[in-house]
Amino acid sequence: MTRLVQVREATLAEQKNEGAEVVFTRVKKAGGGLQYTYTIYGCQCYESWMQWGTSTDVLGDNVDDIEA
């Protein structure tokens, strides 16, 4: 399970290169003090939304946050 640490508007470069409107940063702590950071890009798509940028399990952790 990951934890949301940041939600921000996409930079101009992220808008151009990724097509993103919003960027989420999530982290997952692992053994030995390691921490994995995941970047999720999102945008509105008609009446709904799309998200991409990492594995489906991490995207699944982000569903409630992108819906908000």
Mean pLDDT score of the chain, rounded to an integer? 96
pLDDT one-digit tens code per residue, 39-51 = 999 999 998 999 9
Task: Tell me 11's DSSP state.
Answer: P
Average pLDDT in the 21-35 region? 95
What domain count does the chain have? 1
pLDDT band at 2 (very low <50, low <70, confident <90, very high): very high
C-alpha 15, offset from chain centre = 14
pLDDT band at 67 (very low <50, low <70, confident <90, very high): very high
- Bridge partner list, 36: 28
pLDDT band at 36 (very low <50, low <70, confident <90, very high): very high
Say how many residues make up the chain: 68
Cα 65 to Cα 63: distance, rounded to the nearest angstrom:
5
Q: Give the range of the structural domain holding residue 61, as residue numbers without chain letter.
A: 3-67
